[in-house]
């Protein structure tokens, strides 16, 4: 019985530590990371080499790309839970799956996780935009999205 109780305590401590490991701030905007929910993925993950870094939104990771000199893989949350849109930067050139589109309409960075996202299809973009008050937003292809993110501020 003692062994079972000790195992349970150690397991629960490990679970608490792993869930806390996701909490933190975005390396670019310094705002708190937005966690996944059962209905929507929110975690944007950058991988290069053995490193894994979480960002608040797709805008933040692309805007911060100059910090990294190697090839990158970004797992951008899509409309489908557990099925991110996978972006790659190889030799400085970004690529995304055919048909994927992007939303980038936030005016306050506090809204970036909700309004800077990737979608696997234009229809998914349209559905999301309607639900989140961004009906007038234009779906961007990857090149348009990267250009918008990297446009110098006025």
CA 71, 113, 115, 50: dihedral to nearest 10 degrees? 10
Q: What is the pLDDT along the chain (154 residues), one digit of tens a residue?
A: 555 544 444 444 444 444 444 579 999 999 999 999 999 999 999 999 999 999 999 999 999 999 999 999 999 999 999 999 999 999 999 999 999 999 999 999 899 999 999 999 999 999 999 999 999 999 999 999 999 999 876 5
Closest CA to 55 of 70, 108, 119, 65: 65
Give the three-state DSSP class for 65.
helix
Residue 5, in any domain of the structure? no
Residue 10, in any domain of the structure? no
40-73 per-position pLDDT tens digit: 999 999 999 999 999 999 999 999 999 999 999 9
- Reading the block at residue 45, the tokens are 């993950």
Q: What is the pTM of this model?
A: 0.82
Residue 80, in any domain of the structure? yes
- Give the domain range for residue 115: 22-150
Residue 1, in any domain of the structure? no
Tell me which H or E stretch contains 80: none
Domains in the chain: how many in total? 1
- Specify whether the CB–CB gap between 59 and 47 falls below 8 A: no
């Amino acid at each position: 019985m003692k062994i079972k109780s000790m195992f349970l305590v150690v397991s629960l401590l490990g679970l608490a530590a792993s869930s806390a490991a996701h909490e933190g701030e975005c390396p670019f905007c310094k705002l708190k990371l937005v966690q996944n929910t059962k209905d929507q993925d929110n975690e944007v993950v950058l991988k290069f080499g053995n490193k894994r870094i979480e960002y608040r939104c797709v805008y933040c990771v692309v805007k911060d790309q100059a910090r990294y000199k190697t090839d990158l893989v970004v797992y951008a949350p899509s409309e489908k839970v557990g099925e991110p849109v996978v972006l790659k930067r190889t030799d400085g050139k970004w690529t995304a799956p055919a048909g994927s589109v992007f939303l980038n309409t936030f005016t306050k960075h506090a809204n970036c996780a909700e309004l800077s996202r990737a979608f696997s299809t234009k229809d998914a973009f349209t559905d999301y935009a309607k639900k989140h008050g961004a009906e007038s937003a234009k779906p961007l292809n990857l090149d348009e999205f990267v250009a918008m993110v990297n446009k110098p501020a006025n």
